[in-house]
């Protein structure tokens, strides 16, 4: 088990909790329908579930942002290079972008679907869809972080798991792009499954960092 500083352990703890919440969110949320009328029906048929999932997402994404901010100031090996430092910054910004989506979907989007206000739903859905792009870029950032872990001499967990996270993260981005931007419905299933795998790895990374040893002397 590698040594880490105290700030890195704290960041790992918040990352683990946020990742666990996002796994639950993705399981509850499920794939998104490319057709907006179909998506409105899905939301209307499960308004309470939709609201719960998105308030949980808002909390989990906020913890991603907290973890990234602490990591950027921790001065650890996880931000020792330009690409990894940039990746953690993208995690922060992307999580905050997507958190606003979660709040909008848990409030006005859910309310519009429940009341049958299709024009309101369409307008706010377009807003939410645009802001949710932040999660796609979080996935690319995780791919960079996982790739650095896989190649590193000192790492948390096995290299094969990190390489698997790289593939899952790229698949998450690709699934979102093909599903939301091109309208290929099966791609949204890929997005959900790969995002769960990606979040499982960030969960394991967070737990590993949280449990890592502190140096005998802390400056």
pLDDT, position 63: 97
Cα distance between residue 11 and residue 15, in whole Å:
6
Residue 38: C-alpha distances to residues 110, 122, 186, 193 (Å): 14, 12, 15, 21
Asked if residue 30 lies in contact with residue 192, where contact means CB atoms within 8 angstroms, the answer is yes
Instruction: Say how many domains are in the chain.
Output: 1
Does a structural domain hold residue 219? no
Domain enclosing residue 87, as ranges: 6-211
Does a structural domain hold residue 97? yes
Mean pLDDT computed over 166-181: 96
pLDDT tens digits, 111-167: 999 999 999 999 999 999 899 999 999 999 999 999 999 997 777 778 999 999 999
Does a structural domain hold residue 61? yes
pTM (2 d.p.)? 0.92
Helices (H) and strands (E) in the chain, counts: 9, 0
Q: Is 111 exposed, middle or buried (0-12, 13-18, 19+ CB in 10 A)?
A: middle
What percent of the chain shows pLDDT beyond 70? 95
Does a structural domain hold residue 18? yes
Degrees, nearest 5: CA angle 134-140-145: 120
């Amino acid at each position: 088990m590698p040594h880490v500083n105290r700030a890195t352990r704290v960041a790992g703890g918040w990352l683990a909790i946020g990742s666990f919440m996002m796994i639950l969110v993705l399981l509850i949320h499920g794939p998104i329908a490319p057709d907006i009328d179909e998506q409105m029906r899905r939301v209307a048929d499960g308004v309470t579930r939709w609201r719960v999932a998105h308030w949980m997402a808002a909390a989990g994404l906020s913890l991603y942002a907290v973890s990234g901010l602490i990591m950027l100031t921790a001065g650890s090996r996880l931000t020792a290079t330009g690409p990894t430092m940039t990746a953690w910054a993208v995690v922060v910004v992307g999580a905050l972008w997507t958190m606003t989506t979660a709040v909008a979907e848990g409030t006005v989007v859910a309310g519009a679907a429940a009341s049958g206000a299709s024009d309101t739903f369409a307008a706010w859905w377009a807003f939410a869809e645009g802001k949710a792009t932040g999660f796609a870029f979080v996935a690319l950032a995780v791919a960079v972080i996982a790739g650095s872990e896989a190649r590193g001499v000192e790492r948390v967990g096995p290299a094969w798991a990190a390489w698997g996270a790289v593939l899952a993260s790229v698949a998450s981005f690709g699934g979102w792009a093909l599903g939301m931007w091109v309208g290929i419905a099966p791609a949204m299933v890929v997005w959900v499954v790969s995002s769960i795998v990606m979040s499982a790895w960030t969960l394991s990374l967070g737990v590993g960092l949280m449990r890592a040893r502190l140096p005998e002397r802390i400056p």
